[in-house]
């Protein structure tokens, strides 16, 4: 009897050592982290996409998908994915083939990379960069290069107009985002996302910087080219903007990057203003998921409610309203930071 227990003890010890040695190996950990981030990136946008189908439908008094997967069309986006895979991969004759094929990846990868620094609890994060918020904002703006590449290489005037609109939009809305985030960094005293979340342990920053939250959310919408700021893909004017010539998987990548972008910027807004994973009773990752979900719902809600702005209105709104507001916000925060 004792010998059996001894053997079991030995086995347990051995396996513990195995687990320890495995998880201290740099490359294994790296691969596991990359896989987790990738899986999260592939699942969360599908959930948001499905939610968009359903929420949009019910806000228009419809039902939305009901057949795929039998129960309320839960597998609709899976079915869409299968459909995209089956489609012919068309490259226009006049297109710049390499740039055309590379563009979807350039649009998609930054959003995947962005998830690396998002903390889901004190211990669940892939990487805690000291310059986290800087990394996030830099990555989010790389994506538009993919759109610009797509528009330019398509050799299509609608694509080009869409791409240039996207670029102009990014330039005018990147500024308010950075200014709003700078105010948060000032108040938190750190650029690490984990540090910013931990700085909000007594109150959320939305309470101290509601104006900043407003600026951040509006500018994020514009950066994602989501309605009411969807001029770059305005389907009634320029077909589908930079994505006009794309089919099949490449098109699906662009869509994925849009929904991935919603999840990413919702997560960042949650970290900066809503206390990230902090919340009572429920475990931290659940709180993070709830906050991301609520912000994503808000993004979809806005799409169902507002018509598209005109291109000049968009620019006017950014330069004449959001940027001055963001500058004023940063000044007020700086003064208060020094005063208290």
- For 127, residues 6+ apart whose C-beta sits below 8 A from its C-beta are 33, 116, 117
| Distance between CA atoms of residues 244 and 238, nearest Å | 8
Exactly one of 17, 20, 35, 58 binds other proteins (CB under 8 A); that residue is 58
Longest dimension (CA), the chain: 83
CB 241 within 8 A of CB 168: no
- From residue 81 to residue 120, what is the string marking binding to other proteins with x (rule CB under 8 A)? ----------------------------------------
DSSP class of 310: P
CB 301 within 8 A of CB 59: yes
Exactly one of 23, 98, 301, 319 binds other proteins (CB under 8 A); that residue is 301
3-state secondary structure of 121: coil
Segment lying near other proteins (by CB under 8 A), choices 20-28, 55-63, 259-267, 272-280: 55-63
Exactly one of 62, 83, 157, 310 binds other proteins (CB under 8 A); that residue is 62
| Residue 313 contacts other proteins per CB under 8 A | no
Min dist CB 218 to other proteins, Å, is: 11
| Residue 63 contacts other proteins per CB under 8 A | yes
Segment lying near other proteins (by CB under 8 A), choices 109-117, 268-276, 299-307, 331-339: 299-307
Segment lying near other proteins (by CB under 8 A), choices 11-19, 79-87, 94-102, 300-308: 300-308
| Residue 306 contacts other proteins per CB under 8 A | yes
Segment lying near other proteins (by CB under 8 A), choices 38-46, 50-58, 115-123, 152-160: 50-58
Segment lying near other proteins (by CB under 8 A), choices 32-40, 52-60, 314-322, 324-332: 52-60
CB 137 within 8 A of CB 181: yes
| Residue 310 contacts other proteins per CB under 8 A | no
Q: Number of helices and strands (H, E) in the chain?
A: 14, 0
Report how many residues bind other proteins under the rule CB under 8 A.
14
| Residue 15 contacts other proteins per CB under 8 A | no
Enumerate long-range contacts of 112-117, CB under 8 Å, 24 or more apart.
112/37, 112/38, 112/41, 112/260, 113/139, 114/139, 114/140, 114/264, 114/268, 115/37, 115/40, 115/41, 115/264, 115/267, 116/33, 116/37, 117/193
Q: How many CB atoms lie within 10 A of CB 5?
A: 9
Residue 38 or 321: which CB sits closer to other proteins?
Answer: 321
Residue 301 or 319: which CB sits closer to other proteins?
Answer: 301
Interface residues with other proteins (CB under 8 A)?
55, 57-63, 66, 301-302, 304-306
């Amino acid at each position: 009897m004792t010998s059996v227990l001894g053997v079991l003890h030995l086995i347990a010890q051995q396996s513990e050592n195995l687990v320890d040695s495995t998880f201290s190996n740099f490359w294994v950990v790296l691969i596991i982290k990359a896989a987790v981030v990738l899986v999260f990136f592939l699942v969360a946008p599908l959930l948001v996409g499905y939610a968009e189908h359903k929420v949009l439908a019910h806000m228009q008094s419809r039902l939305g998908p009901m057949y795929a997967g039998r129960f309320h069309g839960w597998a609709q986006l899976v079915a869409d994915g299968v459909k995209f895979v089956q489609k012919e991969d068309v490259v226009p004759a006049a297109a710049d083939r390499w740039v055309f094929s590379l563009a979807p990846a350039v649009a998609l990868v930054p959003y995947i990379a962005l998830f690396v620094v998002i903390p889901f609890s004190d211990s669940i994060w892939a990487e805690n960069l000291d310059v986290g918020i800087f990394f996030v904002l830099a990555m989010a703006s790389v994506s538009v290069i993919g759109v610009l590449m797509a528009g330019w290489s398509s050799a299509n005037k609608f694509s080009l107009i869409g791409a240039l609109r996207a670029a102009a939009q990014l330039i005018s809305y990147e500024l308010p985002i950075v200014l709003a985030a700078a105010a948060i960094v000032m108040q938190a005293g750190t650029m690490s996302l984990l540090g910013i979340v931990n700085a909000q342990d007594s109150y959320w920053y939305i309470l101290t910087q509601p104006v900043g939250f407003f600026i951040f959310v509006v500018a994020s919408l514009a950066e994602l080219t989501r309605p009411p700021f969807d001029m770059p893909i305005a389907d009634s004017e320029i077909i589908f903007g930079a994505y006009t010539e794309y089919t099949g998987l490449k098109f699906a990548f662009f869509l994925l990057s849009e929904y991935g972008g919603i999840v990413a910027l919702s997560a960042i807004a949650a970290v900066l203003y809503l206390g990230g994973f902090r919340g009572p009773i429920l475990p931290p990752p659940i709180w993070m998921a709830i906050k991301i979900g609520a912000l994503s719902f808000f993004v979809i809600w806005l799409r169902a409610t507002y018509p598209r702005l005109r291109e000049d209105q968009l620019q006017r709104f950014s330069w004449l309203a959001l940027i001055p507001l963001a500058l004023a916000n940063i000044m007020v925060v700086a003064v208060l930071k020094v005063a208290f």
